[in-house]
Amino acid sequence: MIINERTFVMVKPDGVKRRLIGEVISRIEKAGLRIVAMKMLQLTRAMAEKHYAVHKGKPFYDGLIKFISSGPVVAMVVEGENAVKRMRKIAGATNPMDAEVGTIRGDFGMVIGRNIVHAADSPENAKIEYSIYFKETELVKHKMIDEEWIYE
Ligand code: IDP
Ligand code: MG
């Protein structure tokens, strides 16, 4: 059995600078999700504008583009059953003040503009987003040995 819903996750520059890459990866792994691609990179302005195209024109857009391209990020493609929804739950609400304790944003964030992690909000958007950073051939097709214990 291979369960392949894909999502796109990114440790934002604040998460990298605060040494939370491992924390984010650890939570993804422990949840039972499967990482199939990962890289560190610094976004160009063009990449950032593509990634956050839906927010163009909003008051926080310029600050968001500047911030997300201000330092290294870690981009990941993650798979699993309902991977999009599961990953959004692991990340927590957009504003850390509304995010539950136990979520990444709820445990480590203080303000909405520094919320450590990005997670796609639909499988369609996940594909649009990961295609900015990865070629299809860079996604590794594999299965974890514990999946028969993770899924029933
Ligand atoms: P999401 O990351 O939970 O999907 P979105 O609404 O898609 O949230 O917003 C994208 C990112 O833009 C958020 O993660 C947050 O960092 C930033 N952002 C959203 N709303 C605001 C705001 O009102 N002020 C400042 N930054 C914001
Ligand atoms: Mg979003």
Query: Domain segments of the chain: what residues?
Result: 5-138
Tokens of 16: 């990298």
- Strands of 22-115 (E only): list them: 34-42, 72-79
Q: Which atom of ligand 1 is nearest to the CA of 52?
A: 10
Task: Give the fold, CATH level 3, of 5-138.
Answer: Alpha-Beta Plaits (3.30.70)
CB atoms within 10 A of CB 98: 11
**Confidence band (pLDDT; 50, 70, 90) for 4?**
confident
Q: How remote is the CA of residue 37 from the centroid of ligand 2, in Å?
A: 20
Instruction: Report the sign of the C-alpha dihedral through residues 119, 124, 130, 132, in that order.
Output: negative
Q: What is the pLDDT of residues 36-77, one digit of tens each?
A: 999 999 999 999 999 999 999 999 999 999 999 999 999 999
* Distances, alpha carbon 79 to alpha carbons 30, 44, 91, 139, in Å: 13, 26, 15, 10
Mean pLDDT, residues 118-143? 97
Q: What is the pLDDT of residues 82-117, one digit of tens each?
A: 999 999 999 999 999 999 999 999 999 999 999 999
User: Taking 60 as the threshold, does the pLDDT of residue 2 lie above it?
Assistant: no
Diameter of the chain measured on Cα atoms = 46
User: Taking 90 as the threshold, does the pLDDT of residue 9 lie above it?
Assistant: yes
- Choose one of 10, 94, 116, 128 to mutate for the ligand 1 pocket test, by most ligand atoms within 8 angstroms of C-beta: 94
Q: Whose CA is nearest to atom 16 of ligand 1?
A: 113
Tokens of 30: 């422990």
pLDDT at res. 11: 99
Q: Whose CA is nearest to atom 26 of ligand 1?
A: 113
Query: Which-ligand-closest: CA of 63?
Result: 1
